[in-house]
Structure 1
Amino acid sequence: MATAPYNYSYIFKYIIIGDMGVGKSCLLHQFTEKKFMADCPHTIGVEFGTRIIEVSGQKIKLQIWDTAGQERFRAVTRSYYRGAAGALMVYDITRRSTYNHLSSWLTDARNLTNPNTVIILIGNKADLEAQRDVTYEEAKQFAEENGGSSGENVEDAFLEAAKKIYQNIQDGSLDLNAAESGVQHKPSAPQGGRLTSEPQPQREGCGC
């Protein structure tokens, strides 16, 4: 049906942040394409993907910005933090340095997003358990101490963030009229109808 891609009620903007080489692009590809990529090229600037999910009976379109981890791109990627409803902060469980840098990424996320932005910590490359350098328990403690959640399942992380954002909408703590909320309410098109206001990704809530 031609209207299917437009049949959703909300748009949530996500960003994926973390050091270079932790697998952010692979996570994006795995979630949006449902295909596992063992080796992803390093992102230059930002990459973009979308997927429609369902939360509490509501269809929600996730617009996901994958940001480069290199320091030389930080000035560029910081502009994409603005207006993010969710931030997925990624580290590599086999490289402690990527975990140690989380505080810096968290500071950026806190300073550049709105107070209600949902932050989820993802320990990537959990399939390399034999090479694990960061325990699940210490990562969980870091997340709890900083008001976030942690996990090592890609699908669950994206969905958990969406559930928390949706809950913030329901309890009124997220103002949908605020430009920086990272959420757009988009009533579903009627059967056979057509929506003509499909937003362009590059204009979606970012200051670029």
Structure 2
Amino acid sequence: MFAKTLGEDGAELRPLEPWQAEEFLAHMDRGRDYIATHIMLPDLVTDLDSARAYLQSYADKAAADTGRLYGLWADGTLVGGVLFRLFDAARGTCEVGCWLEQDAAGRGLVTRAIGVLIDWAVDVRGIHRVEWVASAENTASINVAKRLGMVRDGVLRESYLYRGVRHDSEIWSVLAGDWRTARRGASGQ
């Protein structure tokens, strides 16, 4: 197993796998109310069996090369995650996403981790377009897309049914060429 350090604060990005179901459930229980503000993950992960099933679904996606799941650890504690929700190497597209406990918010963990995912998708797998989908009401998520240099492609009006209410979804993306150009500019090359 690998661990990718995400900066000087010691935060790490690691695969999140079915054998970690207990740790994943404990994390979800700590962050349930905050995480559930905009996404349904806490509604799906309610006990050990559902935690294991969720993690197994991403292990299956990884085996089929259609998605991947990674945890974010800070000070040795699982505090969030990032993922390739959809991954289509043949078409050159993927969708990235995230969630985070409230106490871990505001530290740049998601921005740094998603940057690692985009680097891998573009440089290793040849992905051309990376998408980010967020509730139009989720300012923190939209700000991550902006920090990553993504462009707002549009709004899908009332496309996301969550807890009986329809929400608008914003679609953001970055193309491989734009990502590489921005990365070169950031490194001063």
Q: TM-score range by the shorter chain?
A: 0.3 to 0.5
Higher-strand-fraction structure: 2
| RCO higher in structure (CA 8 A, sep ≥6) | 1
Higher-helix-fraction structure: 2
* TM-score, length of structure 2 as denominator length: 0.36
* TM-score, length of structure 1 as denominator length: 0.33
Larger Rg: 1
